[in-house]
Amino acid sequence: MRTWVADRVRDVLYGLSVLIAWPVVAGLFRLSVRGRRNLRAQGILVAPHRSYWDIVILCVACGPFRRITFLARRGLLRNPLFAPFVWGFATVIDREAFGRDDFRRALHSAHRARLLGMFPEGTTRPGARPKPGAIRFAELLGRPLIPVNVVPRGPYPPRYPFGFPRIEVRIGLPITVHELAGDLPPDLPRPERHRLLADRLMAHIQAL
C-alpha cells in the first residue's frame, strides 16, 4: 500500500514538473512531436544521448500522464540541479562499477515502471558505442522497445545563450527483440548477439 501511494505521488509530481517544463522546452526548441500514438502502456523507451536536454525533451514529448522512469548514473547526484529529479524519478546505478546490486535494483524498477527510459550509449560523449542494456531488459521483461529520435535543426547540444535549435521528436513503432534479430544466426554467442542487436537498434532509431 505504501509503495502504491508513493508511486501515485510521484505520478502527480512528475505530471506537474512536465507541465511546468513544457512552455520552456516548447519555447526554446519550438518543439514538435511525431508518432505519439506509438507509445504503449508499457515499453522501453530508447533514444540516442547527445545532451542533458534529452531527458526533459523526452518527458515533455511524451506528456504529463506517461511517466518515464530513467536509469541514471550515480554521478548525476553530485549535480545539485539534477539530484532532486534523479532521486524522485529515476533509478540510480553505478555505471563505472555496475554490479549485481545495480542490476537487481534496475530490474526491480523496470518491473514497476510503465515506461522505462534508456540511453544505450550511457553518455553524451560523441562516438560512444551502444551498450546492450536495453536489449537485455526487453528480453527479461518481455516488453517492446519504443525507438525515439530527437532530431534537431541547428546546433545540438545548444550553443548558449541563443543557439537553440528547432527540434522534432520522432516516436517510432514499437519493435520486439525477436523482430530486431531478424536473420541473425540463432547459435551466436550471447554477448555477440546482444552487441549486434544494440547496433541494429541504434541504426533503427537513426533511420526514423
Read off the pLDDT of residues 67-103 as tens digits, 9 standing for 90 and up: 998 877 776 667 666 666 676 677 777 766 666 777 7
Sign of the torsion angle spanned by Cα atoms 76, 81, 84, 88: negative
Read off the pLDDT of residues 7-41 as tens digits, 9 standing for 90 and up: 788 888 889 989 999 999 999 999 999 999 999 87
Single-letter code of the amino acid located at 160? Y
Q: Which three three-digit cell numbers place residue 105?
A: 535494483
| pLDDT at residue 3, as a whole number | 72
Mean pLDDT over all residues of the chain? 87
CB 147 within 8 A of CB 204: yes
| pLDDT at residue 46, as a whole number | 96
Whether 174 shows a pLDDT value over 80: the answer reads: yes
Residue 83's nearest CA partner among 116, 52, 51 is 52
| pLDDT at residue 112, as a whole number | 78
Q: Which three three-digit cell numbers place residue 134?
A: 536495453
- Residue 182 vs residues 176, 177, 185, 201: alpha-carbon distances, Å: 10, 9, 9, 12
Does the pTM surpass 0.95? The reply is no
Q: 131 — phi, psi (to 5°)? A: -95, 155
Write down the CATH superfamily of domain 2-206.
Glycerol-3-phosphate (1)-acyltransferase (3.40.1130.10)
Task: Provide the angle, in degrees to the nearest 10, between the axes of the packed helices 2-29 and 53-62.
Answer: 100
Residue 126's pLDDT band (boundaries 50, 70, 90)? Answer: confident
Q: Which three three-digit cell numbers place residue 33?
A: 512531436
Residue 146's nearest CA partner among 114, 124, 168, 122 is 114
Which letter does DSSP use for residue 163 in this model? B
| pLDDT at residue 13, as a whole number | 87
d(CA 206, CA 208): 6
| pLDDT at residue 72, as a whole number | 74
Length of the chain: 208
